[in-house]
Amino acid sequence: MTTSSPPPAPRLALRGIRKVYPGVVANDGIDLTVAPGEIHAVLGENGAGKSTLMKIIYGVTRPSAGDIHWEGQPVTVRDPAHARELGIGMVFQHFSLFETLTVAENVALALPGRTDLRELSRRIEEVSTRYGLPVDPRRTVHALSVGERQRVEIVRCLLQQPRLLIMDEPTSVLTPQAVEKLFETLRRLAAEGCSILYISHKLDEIRALCHSATVLRGGRVSGHCRPAEETPASMARMMIGKDLPHCEHGPAQGGGEVRLRLAGLSHASDDPYGVDLRDLHLDVRAGEIVGIAGVSGNGQQELLRAISGEERLAEKHPVQICGTEAGRLSAGARRRLGLCFVPEERLGRGAVPALPLVDNGLLTAARSQGLVRAGFLARGKARAFAERCIATFDVRGGGADAAAQSLSGGNLQKFIMGREILQAPKLLVAAQPTWGVDVGAAAFIRQAIIDLRNRGCAVLVISEELDELFEICDRIAVIAQGRLSPPRDIGEASIEEIGLWMSGLWPGAESNAPAAAEAAHA
């Protein structure tokens, strides 16, 4: 049970909250109490129901049953505007900012009534200095880094003097140093009496920051605790019902032939909001897993497209796959060289949402698995292949005829991984392999990647989750502002050091005034 600070009525009390969507009960009988000035964590793995609960509190959606008490009074939160009137502010995981407008205009949109932009800019500067969240009201949002955008989101909330601030997975876009700064801000707010609901699945952060925690599992509350008194293992057990699975890493095989070589890869992004790649060098050998860490928005998308062939380069030699200069080859041609790729977006890119798994197997495996004969589809073989993926990778949810969009995130990711891995690639590139995936499936996927490496494949993993990279990689590098650090053996690297590199400050990086300033602000 949570202990409350002096004032009698809790700031927020949820009783028996239930939310049903077609085919799934997202929240089932949730009780939650937050006292004034308390930092309260809502902990749970992906799919446990945290986001749904927050949407209910913030008025984006309504509960199917249950009630909400705000400062002792029962309320129905009609919509986000009403929530703001009550004093609830929310900083979303995926920011709700408008790229083509300035910071001041973005903030103005969230405030009711007409606002004088000059007066507002003054207030923005005042709040941002006070809480250590530097933002420039005149800049257009699309020019801001991800960390800066989050600060805009927070400042936008703070200007409305919230009494409850909801932070939804705030640290997935921050370097470890920036996380520390954020925690200082949050502690300051709590000391002034603002309650904070902190949504996360990162056990270390919760133990460092939060006074109390409610743990969700499968849509229900599986426990309350005081994080400071728990160990990561005990919290994990509440979160997933058993101990955190570990991967059998095994020793690096190393020394194999070079399967991917980036030789001075430079590419200007044709997206005006994109990041230019500048002189990237990297070798990935057979039998090793190389990881690239980095906060999102530093060139990962552009790098992936340059490797996969979705973006063709001006020259052929900057990207070499299995010894062949591939810069000008199409995605299909690169697959024929032995490349397989698991993209970050499952629905809409890795798989076609409305098509069944049988057809989604055809998407990339048609040529390599002989599923096409004389231009015609070999239906029987396609089905056999899809069923093999499902069986080997423990994909649950309806069999080969189920539409991709009907599968859970974890199961669909297992299918896509399976499809790519069963093609026995020479080089596998995986982006955010376990994003949004439940813990069980995540462990399965990571082990599958390690097993693949043990069979002699070269693997490149690009991820924003440092823990994941440290768990599976043999060597690690960092991408920042379109530049790549030299890789480091995983045994010699530490999270703090890598965190520093994520701001662009690795030894040998050209001293770049904006980068240093960014690091100071990050």
Partner 1 sequence: MEGNLFTAVLFATVVAGTPLILTALGLLVSERAGVLNLGAEGMMAVGAVAAFAATHHSGSPWLGVLAGLVAGAAMALVFGFLAITLQANQVASGLALAIFGVGLAAFIGKPYESLALPAVPPIRLPFIADIPLLGEALYNQQALVYGSWALFWAVLWFLYRSRAGLVLRAVGESPAAAHAIGHPVLRIRYLAVAFGGAMAGVGGAFLSVFYTPMWVEGMVAGRGWIALALVVFATWRPLRVMLGAYLFGGVMVSQLFVQGAGLQIDFPSQLLSSLPYLATIVVLVAISRNPATIRLNSPLSLGKPYRPDA
Partner 2 sequence: MLRLEPRPQASRLMTWLSPLLAAVLTLVAGGMLFALLGKDPAEGLRLFLVAPLKDLYGLSELLLKATPLMLCATGLAIGFRANIWNIGAEGQFMLGAVGATGVALWAGESESALVLPGMLLGGALAGAAWAAIPAWLKTRFNANEILVSLMLVYVAQLLVSWLVFGPWKDPQGFNFPQTVMFADAALLPVLVDGTRLHLGLLFALAALVAAYVFMYRSHAGFRMRVAGEAPDAARYAGFSASRTIWTGLLCGGAAAGVAGMAEVAGPMGQLTDKLSLGYGFAAIIVAFVGRLHPLGIFLASLLMALLYIGGEQVQQYMNLPNSIALVFQGLLLFFLLGADVFIRYRLRFGSGAASA
Binding site for partner 1 (CB under 8 A): 21, 55, 60-61, 79-81, 84, 90, 92, 95-101, 105, 108-110, 114-115, 270-272
Q: Which is nearer to partner 1, 110 or 133 (CB)?
A: 110
Interaction partner, residue 376 (partner 1, partner 2, none; CB < 5-8 Å by kind): partner 2
Residue 436: name the closest of 51, 133, 12 by CA.
Answer: 51
CA distances (Å), origin 7, targets 10, 35, 184, 455: 8, 8, 24, 61
Q: Coil, strand or helix: which one is 138? A: coil
**Residue 385 binds which one of partner 1, partner 2, none, with CB within 5 to 8 A depending on kind?**
none
Output the smallest distance, CB 80 to partner 1, in A: 4
- Which of partner 1, partner 2, none is residue 23 near (CB under 5 to 8 Å by kind)? partner 2
Q: Counting contacts by CB under 8 A, is residue 16 touching partner 2?
A: no
Q: Cα-flanking dihedrals φ and ψ of residue 101, to 5°?
A: -105, 165
- Residues 38 and 278: their CA atoms lie apart, in Å, by 45
Distance of CA 107 to the CA centre of its chain: 25
- Backbone region of residue 256 per phi and psi (left: phi > 0; alpha: psi in -120 to 50; beta: other values): beta
* Cα–Cα distance, 257 to 121 (Å, whole number): 57
Binds partner 2 by CB under 8 A, chosen from 255, 375, 491, 514:
375
Q: Could you tell me the smallest distance in angstroms from the CB atom of residue 267 to partner 1?
A: 15
Q: Which is nearer to partner 2, 33 or 408 (CB)?
A: 408
Shortest Å, Cβ 406 to partner 2:
5
Q: How far is the CB of 224 from partner 1 (least distance, A)?
A: 28
**Taking the complex as a whole, how short is the minimal distance between the CB of residue 110 and partner 1, in angstroms?**
4
Name which of 128 and 364 has its Cβ closer to partner 2. Answer: 364
Pair type for strands 475-480 and 289-293: parallel
By a kind-dependent CB cut-off of 5 to 8 A, residue 270 interacts, out of partner 2, partner 1, none, with partner 1
Would you give the DSSP letter of residue 136? -
CA 415 vs CA 364, 388, 396: distances in Å? 12, 10, 9
The entry of partner 2, partner 1, none that residue 110 binds, CB within 5 to 8 Å by partner kind: partner 1
Binding partner 2 (rule: CB under 8 A), the pick from 83, 107, 127, 366 is 366
Show Cβ contacts of residue 341 under 8 Å, excluding neighbours closer than 6 positions: 304, 307, 308, 364, 420, 428, 429, 430
In the chain the first and final C-alpha atoms are separated, in Å, by 36
Least CB distance to partner 2 at residue 319 (A): 15
Verify binding: residue 81, partner 2, rule CB under 8 A: no
CB of residue 142 to partner 2, shortest distance in Å = 21
The burial class, CB within 10 Å (0-12 / 13-18 / 19+), for 218 is: middle
Residue with Cβ nearer partner 1 (90 or 443): 90
Choice between 90 and 407, CB closer to partner 1: 90
Which parts of 278-408 fold into alpha helices (H)?
Answer: 300-308, 331-336, 357-365, 379-392
DSSP string, 452-464: HHHTT-EEEEEES
193 binds partner 2 (CB under 8 A): no
- Residues 60-81, buried b or exposed e (16+ Cβ, 10 A)? bbebeebebbbbeeebebeebe
CA nearest 202: which of 228, 235, 237, 158? Answer: 235
Of 4, 9, 15, 20, which one interacts with partner 2 (CB under 8 A)?
A: 20
Nearest approach in angstroms of CB 273 to partner 1 is: 9
CB 471 within 8 A of CB 263: no
**The one among 297, 309, 338, 482 contacting partner 2 by CB under 8 A:** 309
Smallest distance, Å, CB 377 to partner 2?
A: 6
The answer to whether 377 contacts partner 2 (rule: CB under 8 A) is yes
Print the SS3 string covering 486-504: CCEEHHHCCHHHHHHHCCC
Q: How far is the CB of 436 from partner 1 (least distance, A)?
A: 17
Q: Which residue, 51 or 364, has its beta carbon nearer to partner 1?
A: 51
Q: In angstroms, rounded to a whole number, what is the distance separating the alpha carbons of residues 503 and 179?
A: 13
The least distance separating partner 1 from the CB of residue 415, rounded to whole angstroms, comes to: 25
Of 234, 324, 405, 454, the residue at the interface with partner 2 (CB under 8 A) is 405
The answer to whether residue 76 forms part of the interface with partner 2 (CB under 8 A) is: yes
d(C-alpha 463, C-alpha 502), whole Å: 12
- Output 135 or 402, the one with its CB closest to partner 2: 402
Taking the least distance from each CB to partner 2, the nearer of 76 and 231 is 76
Residue 272 touching partner 2 (CB under 8 A): no
* Per CB under 8 A, 352 contacts partner 2: yes
Q: How far apart are CB 61 and partner 1 at their closest, in Å?
A: 5
Q: Is 331 one of the binding residues for partner 2 (CB under 8 A)?
A: yes
Round to whole Å and give the CA distance between 164 and 70.
Answer: 10
In our burial notation (b when 16+ CB lie closer than 10 A, e otherwise), range 292-312 reads bbbbebbbbbbbbbbbbbebb
- How many CB atoms are located within 10 Å of the residue 519 CB? 18
Q: Does 310 bind partner 2 (CB under 8 A)?
A: yes
Binding site for partner 2 (CB under 8 A): 20, 22-23, 61-65, 76, 308-310, 330-335, 341, 343, 345, 348-355, 359, 362-364, 366, 372, 375-377, 402-403, 405-406
